[in-house]
Structure 1
Amino acid sequence: MSTMGRKIRVLVVDDSALVRSLLTGIINRQHDMACVGTANDPLVARELIRELDPDVLTLDVEMPRMDGIDFLGRLMRLRPMPVVMISTLTERGAEVTLKALELGAVDFVAKPRVGLASGLDELAAQIVDKVRVAAVAQVRRAVAPAGAPGVPGAPGAAGGAAPALLGRLSTEKLICIGASTGGTEAIRKVLLPMPADMPGICITQHMPPGFTTSFAARLNGLCQITVKEAVNAERILPGHAYIAPGGTQFHLARSGANYVAVVDDGPPVNRHKPSVAVLFQSAATVLGPNALGIMLTGMGSDGAAAMRQMKDAGSYNYVQDEASCIVFGMPREAIAHGAADEVLPLGQIAPALIARLRAETGRGHHRI
């Protein structure tokens, strides 16, 4: 969808009259967007979508008459369009938001728990940034997510075959993944095919505090590998994926023969905390040629220059291609920096990485 040369038309759907008023004001203050309507529940929203044909929807998670998630699921099957979820900063809110991203929502904003009016105003820049990104995002018709519990053939599903093990592999290798907008689903699709004896995996996904805990738990329930939030000073183990906790910086250090996680309260980098650049710069310094890098969908350029540093230090890097990205910002910048060894559709990244590791296993120790 192109919104070039005209304002981004936004429909606000929220059961709170205060939130509807605040979001309308925030949107209408922007030179490049306009709130074309508001709805207090999904049934009203359905009629307004037909009547107004908005470019972007902001959608509250919890509403009367029809749950926001039920509505989103129907919308993305019947009339896919860019949606920014307005979530609550609670464990339940985080779980529902991850479900919304799985169904095809482009991104989310977490409502403050207290001081709604002042809190939303503080989030104004974030809200309008996410609406702008959503307006140009590649939105796809919702399908049953591969790898969801009960999907035939998915790891952990009844009758689903677990990915074949790699065999003996040097524990020196580590995989580092960076992602932003659209990244929660992209990361899921990369991790699902991973066998249980993969090298350690370190992940930075732009996400606020409170949401990464639910994100890690959700992935851990789907994958053969163990997925958890990173904890400061813990050893990075094979068969484990470590996710940067929201609101912290995550990087790597060496302790004797081991790699360890460093999770601290460092300042934002490229406006992000966690920042992909922080993880990737440490990979270039600490891992060198033992690193494998993956850059997935996301807005902006966070981590692109650092991924080039990884490549210069001997890393082998995979970058998601434009056609499979929700937003091609970070991958485009990584390619422009000359950081990519291979540019692949999302579904081919894990198989290519696993094939490379198998080839290395074959050249070294054979499986017993």
Structure 2
Amino acid sequence: MSVALVSPLASNSMRQEPLRVMVVDDSVVIRGLISRWIGSEPDMMVVGSLRTGLDAVNQLERINPDVAVLDIEMPELDGISALPQLLAKKRDLIIIMASTLTRRNAEISFKALSLGASDYIPKPESTREASAAEIFHHDLIQKIRSFGAKLRRAVPAAPSPALVPAPGRSREPSFRLQPSPVAQPQLVRRAFSMQAPRVLLIGSSTGGPQALMSLVGELGSVIDRFPVLITQHMPPTFTTILAEHLARSSHRPAHEAIDGEIVKAGQIYLAPGGRHMRVYRHGADAVIALDDGAPVNFCKPAVDPLFTSAIEVWQGGIMSVILTGMGSDGTRGGKDIVAAGGSVIAQDEATSVVWGMPGAAANAGICAAILPLNQIAPKLVRLFSGDRS
């Protein structure tokens, strides 16, 4: 057993101290790499470096971490088996599952989310690949920091931010991480477009898989009459599994988009991991275009390319939704959609796992509505049925 421990801090000083991170992986190379990355950040520290899930369960109370980076495949007790035992001992523990990009691991990661994991992160096949290691490094630190920031905002739950006018239902598991919003200034809300929506575009990231499965499960009539295009920040293989889950949740066809295919009503198109999804007009048809360009907003696929490209096809007939996620991807494209006459809806902070992407859009003043997740689908059904308010 390989264990490195730092004694836990007194509870009354936890809020002022760096985030306490436990790294659990049977690879000494990966443990060392992640530990060095975390150790170089001023707002976080490694309090445990463990080889197996059993070590993590046995040492949890002594180490007292805020966040655990948990490998899936380990001897003695694997990550998916250790997960519920860790949460039983510490209900508010943030657990980020780490796995290599295989279909089996992708399926296990989805199962982990349903069991209470906060998020997942794909590990590169080899840390010798500089670009893959760099992305892994960036994403891991951002996830730890974003979840840690929410964890520290431990204040009583409050209603969604008040909105002021500006001039001129699913069987999928719900989120484990409970909301802890802070007081917000009033956010400007724009009027919905008077143009009838002809397409639904959705962008999401951290917490997005659960939110998407809940949302599409209530959108049957919209999907039947209009195309739905989704960009979820996700690697290859994971998007394949997500498309299958979306099909089951919606009882409608859902698949990873194919380059050159015609966009049709009654279909859910998901941007495949590792490729940006755009659309363009060819005669009377809207057509999918996939590309292998550079990451946008550190993401690939990214939401902005889809949002911005859709304007050429549907102009002001775009209804777009920005769901839970880190960063600000979608805000620039959302601004373009609004300028072209379309509308943007953002998920509210209380129901978002991370209020980065929807929060950026809300604070940019481009949203016509900022709603709890369970209110977005009913609103969309009304809007696509002719409601303009």
TM-score, length basis structure 2 = 0.79
Instruction: For 1:314 and 1:341, locate their aligned partners in 2 and report how far apart those are by CA, in whole Å.
Output: 12
Structure 1 residue identity aligned to 2:44:
M
Letter aligned with residue 273 of structure 2: G
Q: Does the 8 Å contact 1:250/1:264 carry over to 2?
A: yes
Question: Which of 227, 235, 255 is matched with 1:208 structurally?
Answer: 235
| Structure 2: distance between partners of 1:175 and 1:351 | 14
Q: Equivalent of 1:234, from 261, 276, 284?
A: 261
* Conserved 8 A contact 2:21-2:68: yes
Structure 1: distance between partners of 2:243 and 2:205: 15
- Quick check: 1:22–1:120 contact (8 Å CA) kept in 2? no
Q: How far is the alpha carbon of 1:55 from its aligned partner?
A: 1.1
Distance 1:270 1:284, change over 3 A: same
1:120 to 1:276, Cα distance in 2 relative to 1, 3 A: closer
Residues of 1 paired with 2:277 and 2:247: CA distance?
19
- Residue 270 of structure 2 aligns with which residue? 243
Aligned to 1:80: 92
Which position in structure 2 is the counterpart of 1:135? 148
How many percent of aligned residue pairs carry the same amino acid? 38
Superposed counterparts of 1:184-333, under 5 Å: 184-195=209-220, 197-333=224-360
Identify the residue that residue 108 of structure 2 maps to in structure 1: 96
Match of 1:182 among 193, 204, 207: 207
After alignment, is 241-250 or 306-315 more displaced? 306-315
Aligned counterparts of 1:124 and 1:9: Cα–Cα separation in 2: 17
Structure 1: tracts of 5 or more residues without a match: 140-144, 150-169, 362-368
Distance, in Å, in 2 between the alignment partners of 1:176 and 1:77 is 38
Hey, which bits of structure 1, 4+ residues long, moved more than 4 A? Answer: 1-4, 115-121
CA RMSD of aligned residues (A): 2.8
In structure 1, what is the Cα distance between the partners aligned to 2:312 and 2:291? 18
Q: How far apart, in 1, do the equivalents of 2:301 and 2:117 lie?
A: 22
What one-letter code is carried by the residue in structure 2 that aligns with 1:81? L
Q: Contact 2:57–2:85 at 8 Å: present in 1 too?
A: no
Equivalent residues of 2:261, 2:288 under 8 A apart: yes
Aligned-partner SS, 1:324: coil
Count, aligned residues: 336
User: How far off its partner does 1:117 sit?
Assistant: 9.1
- Tell me: CA distance 1:324–1:76, structure 2 relative to 1, closer, same or farther (3 Å): farther
- The corresponding residue for 2:162 is none
Instruction: Evaluate the alpha carbon distance shift between residue 138 and residue 297 of structure 1 in structure 2; reply closer, same or farther with a 3 A threshold.
Output: farther
Q: Assess, with a 3 A threshold, how the Cα gap between structure 1 residues 43 and 117 changes in structure 2: closer, same or farther.
A: farther
In the alignment, what sits opposite 2:48?
Answer: 37
Residue in 1 that maps onto 2:139: 126
Equivalent of 1:54 in 65, 69, 75: 65
Aligned to 1:353: 380
CA distance in 2, matches of 1:81, 1:65: 22
Choose which of 171, 178, 182 in structure 2 pairs with 1:147.
171
Give the TM-score taking structure 1 as reference length.
0.83
- Shift of the alpha carbon at 1:232? 1.0
Q: 15-24 vs 183-192, which deviates more? A: 15-24
Tell me the distance in 2 between the aligned counterparts of 1:233 and 1:248: 14
